[in-house]
Amino acid sequence: MGRTVVVTGATSGIGQAAAEMFAEDGDTVFALGRDRDRLADLERAASGLSGTISGVAIDFAEPDGAATVLRDQFQDQEALDVLVNCHGTAKAQEIEDITTPDWDLLMRVNVHAYFLTVQVLLPWLRKSPAAAVVNVSSVAGRLRSKGLGCHYTTSKAAIIGMTRHLAGELGPEGIRVNCTCPSQTDTPMLEQAVPRERWHELTSRNPLGRIATTREQAAVIRFLASTDAGYMNGAIVDVNGGVW
């Protein structure tokens, strides 16, 4: 019998790859995202898989509304086994150009909403015999972003701190919380931040000489959510090809 899995940011990039991978494993996946058309595409694409994907439209830029959607969606669920926080937003800005609304939006989506999903879904995670939370941060959270703003780097560092705290607080209840730190990955977000004609600059700095695929990133998320990683808690896993 498959697990019940929630993946946020599931309409593109790493989140979409993770949702598809869990469904391939036979899990019941709730894919959360803003784009209703992309969610419908995900549901149709999963029709031939051993698991299922159900799209849930949600906007994490509005925390109160997002919390209501989460509670309504899962009120009839018995348990939640895996929560993957993979949504996010980014903006390339110099520090003098970052306004208070810019800063607040990045923090609301990239930090507050990660906390919110754990807080709201905690009653269902507690009902699982082996619950796992995987937060997706960034190599920017380890050092800094070379192409995005200070607010983006700060938000990704906050996710690392949140992961370590939650691991210590929830670990005694049997809920493991870990985090991945991807480097540049072939996603729409990267394409928006860096034009493809400049990707050679990114690959030249990476010891492996290439950009990661979304499935490479999702595979590490799947591992951290599995019982094979049953003694990993509070781990911050770099998935970056060796770039710093």
Q: Domain for residue 233, yes or no?
A: yes
pLDDT tens, position by position, 23-48: 999 999 999 999 999 999 999 989 88
**Could you write out the three-class secondary structure of 61-90?**
CCHHHHHHHHHHHHCCCCCCCEEEECCCCC
Supply the CATH number for residue 93's domain.
Answer: 3.40.50.720
Q: Domain for residue 243, yes or no?
A: no
Q: How many domains does one find in the chain?
A: 1
Non-local (6+) Cβ contacts of 141 within 8 A are 153, 156, 157, 158, 159, 160, 181
Domain membership of residue 51 as a residue range: 4-237
Is the full-model pTM beyond 0.75? yes
pLDDT tens, position by position, 174-233: 999 999 999 887 767 666 666 666 666 666 678 887 888 899 999 999 999 999 999 999
Q: Domain for residue 244, yes or no?
A: no
Task: Please check whether residue 24 is in contact with residue 221, taking contact to mean a CB–CB distance below 8 angstroms.
Answer: no
